[in-house]
Amino acid sequence: MNPRIGAAVSGTVPVVCLVAALAFGGVAPAAAYPEFETFVEMHSGRSIDCSLCHTHPDGPEGVRPGQIRALTPEELERLNQARGAFEPGTRVDSPILNDFGDLILRVVGKRRFLELRTSDPEALAAELGFDSDLDGDGIPDAQEYLQGTHPLDSQHGDPWLLFRNNLRAYALHLTLILLATLLGLYGLHHLLAWFDVTAQAAVSEPGRKEGSAP
């Protein structure tokens, strides 16, 4: 699992405390945005937490690694730069956000993100677009947001979609395995048939020898 996820996936799905503390400067207390969490839980039927966007599953406020009060001066500088990403296209490398959190700010921008939290949390998926796939599992990050699965964990997603995408990705390998299996069974069948013929010949040989004796 990607080390920036911040929590192992087990039982219910770890996912959203969507991008807390984006609207504040310095080391002000973090503010979570429950509108996104509420939407994802209702839309997907999955329980979620802050690990979708944050480096720590409990969110940005605290003293543990990946939380605001544990940041170094250099990390605080990166945090302030990320908080200034009001417009799309700004480079983002926040110490309290994982790759998906950074992607949201880079693609959507903080200004639009804050508008969506009160107007239409569902529209965040469309704003992100369906081209990005950070974990390479074949499911777009925006779709994983809607489904409440983790966009940084290639083993975490809709089971049917993962099966279909893996089947497509490994189609050649599976075809070669199937062909090798069929050829092996074909060869085994003929080998067993040869053993059977040889055994029958060995049994009948003494009879022929006895019948030809004077």
The first and second tokens of residue 148, run together, are: 């409440």
Residue ranges of domains in the chain: 34-157, 170-211
Least Cα distance to 139 among 121, 123, 151, 127 occurs for 151
Alpha helices in 29-170 (DSSP H): 34-44, 73-83, 99-108, 110-119, 123-128, 141-147, 159-169
- What is the model's pTM? 0.69
One digit per residue, the tens of pLDDT, for the chain of length 214 reads 544 444 434 344 444 455 554 434 344 444 457 888 889 999 999 988 889 899 999 989 999 999 999 999 999 999 999 999 999 999 999 999 999 999 999 999 999 999 999 899 999 999 999 999 999 999 999 999 999 999 999 998 888 888 888 788 777 887 888 888 988 998 888 888 888 888 888 777 665 555 555 5
Residue 6's closest CA among 47, 41, 49?
49
Q: Fill in the amino acid letter for 186.
A: Y
